[in-house]
């Protein structure tokens, strides 16, 4: 059996193509890929109280001068850890460039793309030192 190659308009052997499939084997909650038990962190926890008994936060480093903290979350699964990470990122005050006036852009990058990219540049500054227009 031959497969028609639409790009080069010639026939090619089927083994030259990669076919990707995803097969999911049925398994129980708390079962590892290899069949042993307790793969998922917190899989044994049936209630929030059970989950909180397993969950621990270990503070690794605190740098008050740079307002930096490093910690490990122990006994919790990646989905919940990712949810906590997203909440923390949403609640941290950040600074960004909001309005840009370009007068003579001679680059090949369009004005809108350039201003958007400048707005994405992270600014490492203490936002408490600034007053926003909404607050003052």
pTM (two decimals): 0.47
What pLDDT digit, counting tens, does each position of 56-85 carry? 889 999 888 877 888 888 888 888 889 888
**56 — phi, psi (to 5°)?**
-140, 145
Distance CA 54, CA 51 (A): 5
**110 — phi, psi (to 5°)?**
-60, 150
For residue 50, the SS3 value is: helix
For residue 110, the SS3 value is: coil
Distance CA 63, CA 94 (A): 18
pLDDT band at 14 (very low <50, low <70, confident <90, very high): very low
The CA-based dihedral angle spanning residues 123, 124, 130, 135, taken in that order and rounded to the nearest 10 degrees = 70
Write down the pLDDT at residue 110.
92
For residue 112, the SS3 value is: helix
Contacts of 59 (CB under 8 A, 6+ apart): 69, 70, 71
């Amino acid at each position: 059996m031959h497969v028609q190659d639409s790009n080069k308009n010639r026939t090619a052997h089927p083994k030259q193509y990669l076919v990707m499939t995803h097969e999911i084997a049925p398994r129980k909650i708390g079962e590892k890929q290899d069949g042993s038990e307790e793969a998922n962190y917190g899989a044994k926890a049936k209630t929030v109280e059970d989950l909180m008994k397993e969950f621990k936060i270990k503070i690794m480093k605190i740098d008050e001068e740079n307002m930096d903290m490093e910690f490990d979350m122990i006994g919790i699964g990646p989905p919940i850890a990712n949810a906590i990470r997203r909440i923390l990122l949403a609640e941290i005050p950040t600074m960004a460039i909001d309005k840009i006036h370009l007068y003579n852009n001679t680059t090949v990058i369009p004005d809108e793309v350039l201003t958007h990219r400048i707005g994405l540049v992270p600014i490492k500054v203490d936002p408490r030192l600034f007053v926003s227009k909404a607050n003052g």
